[in-house]
């Protein structure tokens, strides 16, 4: 009898699409939000692509640190593209529906790329730890093979970690309502729509999120503790300043990303406040990827020199092309 009732419940699951609430407001406000989000999205994509192209064109930046930075920029492009275009479509057209499969795919790829970014930020912290604490052995420890393996590990970890959450969500029956109180298909609001008690599912997903987020965050903190200890032992002020400058950009990005992600997914008290969650989600899913290129280009002397070199080279080629006239 229990099995029959469970089967009936699944057969009654009639939800074929979800309605994403987004940021419901007047038309004028929605137009303003559209302009704001498309501006941030274009800045994010353009800035990250510029970083990728700069790192590819300047051979002096073919080092482990910038290899990881290029991968971070690539991740950020995908991370924003998973959610922002759909949000822009909602704000522009007012069509808020998304197919059931599309919603689950958006949720999975969002957490896949977000998890990969957590692993990558931890790898970048480890790279800075080796560079500052073991400078003479840096090229040996952080060989090309090791760097590639660390990147592959980050991507595989990002791919595998959300599979359990995706399986748990897709196995739930959804028989209505189908209104997702968010601007993308995030897991917490989806669980609220299931037709069964999801308390155990919520606890499992919470534990998995805490394991990934806090695990990578703790790894990053430990790396920086050793870095700080090493920096304090450097006798010259110039040496300390140089060591700090190599970590400043990454530390800023880590603070922005983990500060909001931990608040969102590892703090149980905030999980019921979806309006607050939407604001926090905008920070880590849109604002942070937009700021990352500016943080790494404005605070990094090597990046600024490389960008100036490329721009100067293009201007020079342009003048040479026009000279025969």
Name the nearest CA neighbour of 245 among 311, 189, 295, 309: 295
* Cβ proximity of 147 and 68 under 8 Å: yes
Q: What's the chain's average pLDDT?
A: 85
pLDDT at position 299, please? Answer: 66
The pTM of this model reads 0.86
| 150-169 exposure pattern, b = at least 16 Cβ within 10 A, e = fewer | bbeebbebbeebbeebbebb
Percent of the chain clearing pLDDT 90 (strictly above):
50
* Residues facing 18 on adjacent strands: 98
What is the residue extent of each domain of the chain?
2-308
pLDDT at position 293, please? Answer: 86
The whole-angstrom separation of Cα 66 and Cα 61 is 6
DSSP 3-state of 20: strand
pLDDT in tens, 138-168: 999 999 999 999 999 999 999 999 999 999 9
pLDDT in tens, 230-281: 988 888 887 788 778 778 888 888 988 998 898 888 876 544 566 778 888 8
pLDDT in tens, 204-213: 999 999 999 9
pLDDT at position 57, please? Answer: 87
pLDDT in tens, 67-115: 999 999 999 999 999 999 999 999 999 899 999 999 999 999 999 999 9
Name the nearest CA neighbour of 82 among 296, 285, 301: 285
Percent of the chain clearing pLDDT 70 (strictly above):
89
Tell me which CATH code domain 2-308 carries. 1.20.1070.10
């Amino acid at each position: 009898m229990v099995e029959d009732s469970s089967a009936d419940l699944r057969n009654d699951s009639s939800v074929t699409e979800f309605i994403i609430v987004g940021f419901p407001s007047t038309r004028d406000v929605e137009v303003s939000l559209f302009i704001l989000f498309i501006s941030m999205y274009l800045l994010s994509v353009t800035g990250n692509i510029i970083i990728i192209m700069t790192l590819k064109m300047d051979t002096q930046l073919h080092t482990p640190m910038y290899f990881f930075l290029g991968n971070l920029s690539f991740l950020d492009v995908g991370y924003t593209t998973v959610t922002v275009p759909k949000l822009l479509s909602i704000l522009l057209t007012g069509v808020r529906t998304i197919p059931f499969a599309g919603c689950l795919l958006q949720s999975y790829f969002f957490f896949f790329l977000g998890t990969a970014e957590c692993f990558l930020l931890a790898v970048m912290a480890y790279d800075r730890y080796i560079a500052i604490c073991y400078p003479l052995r840096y090229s040996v420890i952080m060989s090309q093979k090791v760097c590639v393996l660390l990147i592959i590990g980050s991507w595989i970890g990002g791919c595998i970690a959300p599979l359990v959450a995706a399986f748990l969500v897709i196995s739930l029956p959804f028989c209505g309502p189908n209104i997702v109180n968010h601007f993308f298909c995030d897991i917490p609001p989806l669980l609220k729509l299931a037709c069964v008690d999801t308390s155990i599912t919520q606890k499992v997903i919470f534990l998995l999120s805490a394991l990934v987020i806090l695990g990578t965050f703790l790894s990053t903190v430990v790396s920086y503790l050793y870095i700080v200890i090493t920096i304090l032992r450097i006798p010259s002020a110039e040496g300390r300043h140089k060591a700090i400058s190599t970590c400043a950009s990454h530390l800023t990005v880590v603070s922005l990303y983990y500060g909001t992600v931990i608040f969102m997914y590892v703090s149980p008290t905030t999980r019921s406040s979806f309006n607050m969650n939407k604001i926090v989600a905008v920070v880590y899913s849109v604002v942070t990827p937009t700021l990352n290129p500016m943080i790494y280009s404005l605070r990094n002397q090597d990046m600024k020199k490389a960008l100036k070199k490329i721009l100067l080279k293009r201007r020079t080629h342009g003048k040479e092309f026009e000279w025969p006239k």
